[in-house]
């Protein structure tokens, strides 16, 4: 009767009796994979497909090639929008077929991000942004690492691969931000006197947080500290992870007793340590005859220390003399 018989139906449902004649139509067989031409705003590109692919599969492949999220894709073929979970073969789409891609546009909106402490931050976003993109914008806005964020809206946890407009697309919507604490890592901070300080820190901490830990543990006021990692001086407001600081990292701290006019609370101890430094140098000299020079972790060159601490500042003779006495005893 000119009808296509679906696999999930029975013969009696179509009124087929034992004497009926059925017509077999052979489908054209395509290669396992074949290129599909996609036209987007007059620009063409191809994705590989096969007859068993669903439209959702094709949208995912387009996303991998062009970055358009599947949620915002509309696929048109022969003037008709294609349903997501229907296969290419069901639509008769094969080699040399041309699909038209239309991207739905979502408006720019402003949302509020509220922390558990009650602080609110305004954020300009696009309703088409993924939650992962929102987290990156929050990181740029308040400095909290993306991996340490958990976002909720209307009691629902938002997944990184979801689209914002799936949950909220109105100006003034409020998203709740929960901070996920990172597991602490162990790092080592060395002084110019060879002392090694072991600290447990969070990579989401700032350099100022690290200086406060050193102050609390060793008594060196944070204003007197200059910290280096991999030859780079750390900025007080920067996050440690921005410098690639990981478990077991070794940092260098140099105490500057003149900075901001703040006296070092451990000057006496520093003087004692400088005596130990002198003894170390004497021992090193005694071993030079064997062709060995122990440098340990100590920077023995006074001029090098002064250059590192006061790289952009000219020292008068009196300050240089005092610094020399502090370091060399």
228-245 pLDDT per residue, tens: 998 889 998 888 877 888
Side-chain half-sphere CA neighbours of 277 within 13 A: 23
Classify residue 285: in a domain, yes or no: yes
Print the domain residue range for 139: 108-179
Those residues whose C-beta lies under 8 Å from the C-beta of residue 110, and which sit 6 or more positions away, are 122, 123, 124, 125, 171, 172
Whether the Cβ atoms of residue 170 and residue 143 lie closer than 8 Å to each other: no
Q: Residue 175's pLDDT band (boundaries 50, 70, 90)?
A: very high
Tell me, yes or no, whether 139 lies in a domain: yes
| Helix segments in the chain, DSSP class H | 55-66, 131-142, 207-218, 267-287, 302-309, 317-328
Q: Check: CB of residue 37 under 8 Å from CB of residue 47.
A: no
Residues of the chain with pLDDT > 70: what percent? 75
**Is residue 259 pLDDT above 70, yes or no?**
no
Mark which of 206, 232, 255 sits at the end of a domain.
Answer: 255
Angle at 131 between CA 75 and CA 140, to 5 degrees: 130
In this structure, the answer to whether residues 243 and 271 fall within a common structural domain is: no
**Are 83 and 113 members of one domain?**
no
String of DSSP letters for 178-216: EE-PPPPEEEEEEETTS-EEEEEE-TTSBHHHHHHHHHH
Q: What band does 176 get if pLDDT is binned at 50, 70 and 90?
A: very high
Q: Are residues 166 and 142 in the same domain?
A: yes
What's the pLDDT tens digit per position in 133-146?
999 999 888 888 88
What CA–CA distance (Å, rounded) separates 63 from 287?
66
Same domain, 191 and 245: yes
Tell me, yes or no, whether 216 lies in a domain. Answer: yes
Same domain as 206, residue 173: no
* Residue from 304, 222, 303, 233 nearest 264 by CA: 222
What's the rounded mean pLDDT across residues 89-118? 87
Residues 195 and 149 in one domain: no
Q: How many folded domains does the chain comprise?
A: 4
Instruction: Give me the sign of the Cα torsion angle 247, 251, 257, 258.
Output: negative
Higher per-residue pLDDT: 291 or 35:
35
Alpha-carbon distance of 270 to 255, in angstroms, equals 9
Q: Which residues lie closer than 8 Å to 41 by C-beta, 6 or more apart?
A: none
- 281 inside domain: yes
Q: Cα torsion for 29, 33, 39, 44, to the nearest 10°?
A: -130
102: β partners: 74
CB 190 within 8 A of CB 128: no
Over residues 12-33, the pLDDT tens digits come to 887 788 878 887 766 655 557 8
Q: Has residue 21 been placed in a domain?
A: no
Asked whether residue 296 is domain-assigned, the answer is: yes
My answer on whether 215 and 235 are in the same domain is yes
Assess if residue 75 is contained within a domain. yes
Q: Please count the CA atoms within 13 angstroms of the CA of 168 that sit on its side-chain side.
A: 23
Distance CA 133, CA 81 (A): 29
Q: Distance of CA 239 to CAs 165, 180, 304, Å?
A: 31, 16, 27
- Is there a single domain that holds both residue 231 and residue 281? no
pLDDT (0 to 100) of residue 4: 72
Q: Is residue 8 part of a domain?
A: no
- pLDDT(211) > 90: yes
> From residue 123, how far is each of 110, 113, 117, 294 by CA, in Å?
6, 7, 18, 55
Single residue among 151, 179, 207 that ends a domain in this structure: 179
The tens digit of pLDDT for each residue in 288-324 reads 444 433 333 334 444 555 454 444 444 455 555 544 5
Mean pLDDT rounded to a whole number for the chain = 77
Q: Long-range pairs for 81-87 at CB < 8 Å and ≥24 separation?
A: 82/55, 83/55, 84/54, 84/55, 84/56, 84/59, 85/54, 85/55, 85/56, 86/54, 86/55, 87/51, 87/52, 87/53, 87/54
Report the share of the chain in percent with pLDDT over 90: 24
Same domain, 221 and 171: no
The residue with greater pLDDT, 260 or 79, is 79
- Please tell me whether residues 171 and 191 are part of one structural domain: no
DSSP string, 265-278: TTHHHHHHHHHHHH
pLDDT: which is higher, 63 or 4: 63
Same domain? For 300 and 317 the reply is yes
Instruction: Write down the pTM of the prediction.
Output: 0.42
CATH number of the domain to which 121 belongs: 3.10.20.90
**Strand 185-191 relative to strand 196-201, pairing:** antiparallel
175 and 190 assigned to the same domain: no
């Amino acid at each position: 009767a000119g009808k296509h018989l679906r696999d999930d139906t029975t013969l009696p449902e179509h009124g087929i009796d034992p004497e009926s004649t059925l017509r077999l139509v052979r489908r054209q067989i395509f290669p396992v994979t074949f290129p599909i031409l996609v036209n987007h705003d007059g620009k063409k590109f191809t994705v590989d497909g096969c007859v068993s692919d669903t439209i959702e599969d094709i949208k995912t492949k387009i996303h991998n090639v062009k970055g358009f999220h599947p949620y915002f894709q509309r696929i048109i073929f022969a003037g008709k929008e294609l349903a997501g979970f229907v296969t290419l073969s069901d639509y008769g789409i094969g080699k040399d077929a041309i699909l038209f891609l239309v991207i739905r546009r979502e408006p720019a909106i402003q949302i509020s991000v509220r922390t558990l402490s009650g602080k609110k931050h305004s954020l300009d976003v696009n309703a088409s942004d993924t939650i992962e993109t929102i987290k990156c914008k929050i990181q740029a806005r308040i400095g909290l690492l993306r991996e340490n964020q958990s976002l909720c809206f209307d009691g629902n946890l938002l997944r990184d691969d979801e689209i914002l407009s799936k949950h909220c697309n109105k100006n003034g919507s409020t998203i709740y931000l929960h901070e996920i604490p990172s597991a602490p890592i162990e790092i080592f901070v060395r002084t110019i006197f060879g002392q090694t300080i072991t600290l447990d820190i969070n990579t989401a901490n700032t350099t100022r947080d690290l200086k406060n830990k050193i102050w609390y543990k060793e008594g060196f006021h944070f204003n007197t500290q200059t910290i280096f990692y991999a030859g780079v001086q750390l900025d007080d407001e920067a996050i440690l992870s921005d410098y690639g600081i990981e478990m077991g990292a070794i940092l260098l701290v140099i105490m500057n007793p003149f900075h901001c006019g703040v006296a070092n609370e451990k000057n006496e101890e520093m003087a004692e340590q400088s005596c130990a430094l002198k003894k170390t140098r004497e021992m090193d000299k005694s071993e030079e005859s064997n062709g060995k020079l122990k440098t340990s972790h100590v920077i023995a060159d006074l001029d090098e220390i002064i250059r590192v601490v006061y790289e952009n500042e000219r020292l008068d003779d009196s300050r240089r003399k005092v610094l020399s006495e502090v370091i060399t005893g």
